[in-house]
Amino acid sequence: MNPRGITVDKHPAYPGAIEQLKGAGEPWRFARLRQCNFLNNIVEQDHRRVKRLVRPGLGFGGLHTTQRTLAGYEATAMMRRGQVRDIDRRDMRAQTIFIAALFQVSA
């Protein structure tokens, strides 16, 4: 699948990053980059929930903590959306077992 366009916000890092990925031969190398703050921006909509959870805190202690916390947010969101096979959205026991196995912690 090759999208016609990629919509991102106006962060200055996006054009360079997209050009690097296009040069690497990504499947969407012919897609047009569209930078707009509020034009049906899927990337921003998906990360709005993460921003809402992170903002009240005092930040992360380090890179390892950041990676683990964001991975937990994403795993929880995937289960909530029904994107994890064999785990129902309302099955808390299965979700707990999945998270424990994913992050090697005891439930």
3 and 42 share a domain?
A: yes
35 and 64 share a domain?
A: no
Taking only the tens place, the pLDDT of each residue in 11-69 is: 888 888 888 887 887 767 778 888 877 666 676 677 778 878 877 777 778 888 888 88
53 within a domain of the structure (yes/no): no
pTM of the predicted model as reported, rounded to 2 decimal places? 0.53
68 and 41 share a domain?
A: no
| Between 37 and 78, the higher pLDDT residue | 78
8 within a domain of the structure (yes/no): yes
Q: Give the per-residue pLDDT at 93.
A: 92
Domain containing 79: what range? Answer: 58-103
52 within a domain of the structure (yes/no): no
31 and 72 share a domain?
A: no
- Residue 38: which region, alpha, beta or left (left: phi > 0; alpha: psi -120 to 50)? alpha
